[in-house]
Amino acid sequence: MIGALATSAPLAFITGASSGIGQALALRCARAGYRLALVARRSEELQAWVDAQGWDAQRCRVYRADVADIDGIVQAGLNCLEQQGVPEVVVANAGISIGMDTAERDDLAVMARTFATNNTGMAATFHPFVAAMRARGSGRLVGIASVAAIRGLPGHGAYCASKAAVVAYCESLRGELRGSGVRVVTLLPGYVDTPLTRENRYAMPFLLSPEVFADRAFAAIEAGSSYRVIPWQMGVVAKLLRLLPNAWFDRLLAGRARKHRQGQGKPAS
């Protein structure tokens, strides 16, 4: 049952909307006339930001959920369907990035948490909407991956592996939905100035502001692009690194600063 908030304006459902890329995408979608369904663990903080934009419940609703909690994020999606209708766009943006060392027992839990958020959480975010989008014959499911998916980086095992899995998962889902009218869009950000990257201890070439990234991402989403690296320069760099022989690649990264492990810096999310 669709609630009274349903209007003719398209709806965007975005996770991880309390900061960074998610918040910038919410603003960009709002400028384009979308209604919003925004999801975050820090729902009070997100609601305060929504109120500051002057958006009422007809324009935007906030849902509290941790995407790593399958039941919680699925329920948020079901609540959105009931209260706002079927989204035109679902952006599975929520993610975490924490360094890890396989020799450390505690870091196995870090890897499990990373996959629960970045991978299972993505599938759980999409789940409530797939059947409804199929029935309608349109919609876009947007998975936020990373250029870190293209080649594994020392100390980034959990993050790189999870983002590579995002790319493969979205590719699989795209094949499953072929011919249904539902498009799967895989976005691979390079470095974007967000809480996720500010703890990094290494150079970040082609760093983008969240607003610039959001503009380019929105264009890719509207176009229904199946795969887009933003900015394109990072895509070129990543592909060149992919082509390097392993021995050269390993030598190039020798001594490179690694991402903070849990407890060493602020866990980015």
Catalytic residue IDs? 159
User: Integer distance in angstroms from the first to the last C-alpha of the chain?
Assistant: 33
> Tokens representing 164?
């590579």
One-letter amino acid of 232: W
Q: In this structure, are residues 87 and 11 in contact, taking their beta carbons and an 8 Å threshold?
A: yes
For 166, the 3-state DSSP assignment is helix
> Tokens representing 10?
């398209």
What is the arrangement of strands in the sheet containing 89-92, beginning at the earlier edge strand? 60-64, 35-40, 11-15, 89-92, 139-144, 182-189, 227-230
Q: In this structure, are residues 74 and 126 in contact, taking their beta carbons and an 8 Å threshold?
A: no
For 218, the 3-state DSSP assignment is helix
One-letter amino acid of 160: C
Question: How many CB atoms are closer than 10 A to CB 260?
Answer: 18
Residues pairing with 265 in the sheet: 262
